[in-house]
Every structure is written in C-alpha cells, then in structure tokens.
Structure 1
Amino acid sequence: MKKTYLFLTFLSAWIVACAFTEDGNLVTENKTPKMNSMNAKLDTATFGEGCFWCTEAFFQRLKGVKEVISGYGGGFVENPTYEQVCDKNTGHIELARIVFDPAIITYDELLEVFWKTHDPTTWDQQGNDIGPQYRSAIYYHNTEQKEKAEKYKAALDKSGAWANPIVTIIEPFKNFYPAENYHQNYYNNNKNQGYCRFVIAPKLEKFEKVFKDKLIKQ
C-alpha cells in the first residue's frame, strides 16, 4: 500500500496537468483557471470512497471547497436512515457532496484527491469497513465530469498504479439524501472518538503531507 501511495504521489503531477482530446491524445492545461472567483459559479462533485466521515474530513480541508455534506445516494429508498443503509437493503452508498469553486480548485484536482485517499480496487470494502454502502463511486453531474472520471480511471488502470483493477463505479447522479446531523463535520467534532483517532487521523496525516499546497491555512 505504501508503494502504491508513493507512486500515486508521483502520478498526480501527470494526471492533474493533463487533459484529453476527443481522439484520446493528451494535451497539457493549466491546473487552475485564472479568473476572478468573486462572481464564480460554484460546481458540485459527488464521491463515495468508503466511510463518509473520512471523505468529508479530506475534502473540507481543501482550498476552494465551500461545503461538504455527508449523505446517502444511488439507491431506491427515499430519505433513508443510517440504520437502514447499514442494513444493506437500500441500494445506497455513503457519499460526500462537495460544493466547490472551480476558479480555485478544479474537478481534475478533486479527482486526484479522490483516487489517492482510498483503495479503488476493493469491491464494497475500505479496510475494515465492509458492505455495499462503502462502495467506491463517482456520480457525475455532467458530460465533462463523466469523461474526465472515465479517462482518468482508464489511465490509472493502464499505469499499473494498483496491483488489481479499479472497480470504482462511474454513474450519472441519481439522488442524494443528507445524513443525520451527528454525521456532519464528524471528525472535527469527535477527534477523540476511537474511529477518528485510529482510522481517520493517520489518513489525514498522510493526506496533509501530499496535498499541503492545496490546504486551507489553519
């Protein structure tokens, strides 16, 4: 896992700085568009990468991310509870809805964080968290997001960054239901809780080293 993490750190410079033409060729582009963010239109990304407590903690520390909401989506039960989702009969995945300013941080950069903060090769599992609610998922909101997600997934698979194939699902956004209030801002409010101390905190330490240039100054 350490080898993969270091490899992806190197790979990030290539992924974020590259885009693809319609015929599949790579062309370079600026990481962040230069524009006045005062009147910029906000955009939304929806990711699932295991426990939403972890996902929220990563993305809410990034410059340009305005809001991160933990919730459930992709399933067929309206307004599900945490208990219902944990029963594995709702079809829902634990998700983070990320509202961001593309003038400050791009969707490409959010994808980089997504790929590097979980294992996208394990089906319905992240570490000791096992179940369909922990599935790796990208729910795209437009064609551009779809194309970027699919091409970066293919590029990562081809690169051999992971020993096993990536199983992340990439599907059109279907629905999203915010989780209960006690799940929101969970790590920041519960840093002494066991899961936060022994699971989230070590991941955040690695994350903050890799993405130190993209973090909000504390």
Structure 2
Amino acid sequence: MDNQKHEKATFAGGCFWCTEALFLELKGVEKVMPGYTGGTVKNPSYEEVCTGTTGHAEAIEIIYNPDLVSYEDLLEVFFGTHDPTTLNRQGADIGTQYRSEVFYHSEAQKKEVENFIQLLNEQNFYGKKVVTKVSAAKEFYPAEDYHQNYYSRNKNQGYCMAVISPKLDKLKKNYKSKLK
C-alpha cells in the first residue's frame, strides 16, 4: 500500500454530498474529502460558505491511484454527473458555492482539463457552452464531520433520495467499468 502512487484531484460540482458519494464508487479512488476551497476566508464553516460571501465552493478533494484510475477518467465522471453549463447552480442548489470548478494541482492537470472542456465545447456536447472554471488549487478546508460520508449515513433523507440516489444510478449505468 505505501509504495502505491497517490495523486490529488479537486472538483467543485454542486453539493459536495453528491460528488463525494459518486467518486467513492470509483476504482482507484482511495479517499474523498468534502470541504471548501477557492475563496478568501480561512477555516470557513458550512454556515459561512452557505451565505455565498466567502468565495469558497463546496468541493471534494480526491486521493487516487493513477495506475488504477486516470485523471481523464475522473474528469469524464465529473463532467458526466453534473451540469457544467449552469453558472453558480446545480439543480435547486443556487449560489457561487455551487459553481462548477476544477482546481488543478499541476500543469499537466491544467492542460488536461482545458483540453477536455475545449473538446466538449467543440462537439457541442451539452448544446451550450461549458462554464466550468479552471483554477490553481488553493488551500482546501475539510468540511465539518457531519458532512463526511453524508450519503451513506443518510440514504433515506429526502435530499439524498431525490438528488443523490438518481445520480448514483446514472453513474452505475454509464460508468460500470470504472466502479469498484
């Protein structure tokens, strides 16, 4: 285990309960941490981030083994499981904290995500332009304990049943070969 490669990916694609639940299902993903990044307030709380005034997005930090899952695979799932064409919104979740943004950790990741977005736009994949921001990774602040592994602990909660369960069904249908 200690001699395995580990790399980091950071994505903001709406509610971090949703994105965490999806990426935990992928082969090669070792850890998914929901939290906040991209803003200016140090150690923000969930309540502060919800005001939309901290500059932070709800995001996930993924630790993965690139021998088992590529960054491109992660991008494919990221762009395939949320709407990257809506500015500061995912479904009923509205505000800058729900924006679509990729925080890159290397020049290689930056190039890869820019090329991926360019391809989606050239192919008019969504019928409209991708608005996902691409930014250098900033300090990542882990979310409060009650947000960690939220879906698996709260599957019968209304939001989980209405929003996350259908996303997981779509993931299992469309990305079967990438699942654990």
Q: TM-score, normalised by structure 2?
A: 0.98
Q: What code does the residue aligned with 1:68 have?
A: V
Runs of 4+ deviating beyond 2 Å: 37-40
Find the partner of 1:90 among 24, 30, 54.
Answer: 54
Equivalent residue, structure 1, for 2:12 = 48
Rg larger in structure: 1
The answer to whether structure 1 residue 123 and structure 2 residue 87 are counterparts is yes
**Root-mean-square deviation (CA), in Å?**
1.0
Distance, in Å, in 1 between the alignment partners of 2:128 and 2:91 is: 15
Deviation at 1:134, TM superposition (A): 0.3
Match of 1:154 among 113, 118, 128: 118
Structure 2: 5+ residue runs without aligned partners? none
Distance in 2 of aligned mates of 1:155 and 1:215: 24
In structure 1, distance between residues paired with 2:98 and 2:13:
7
- Correspondence 1:100 to 2:48: no
| Counterpart Cα distance in 1 of 2:115 and 2:21 | 26
**Unaligned runs of at least 5 residues, structure 1:** 1-36
Shift of 1:175: 1.4
Identity, % of aligned positions: 52
1:202 aligns with 2:166: yes
Structure-2 separation of matches of 1:208 and 1:175:
32
**SS at structure 1 position matched to 2:30:** strand
1:167 aligned partner, one-letter code? V
- Report the Cα offset of residue 38 of structure 1: 6.8
| Alpha-carbon offset, residue 101 of structure 1 | 0.3
Higher RCO (CA 8 Å, separation ≥ 6 residues): 2
Paired residue total: 180
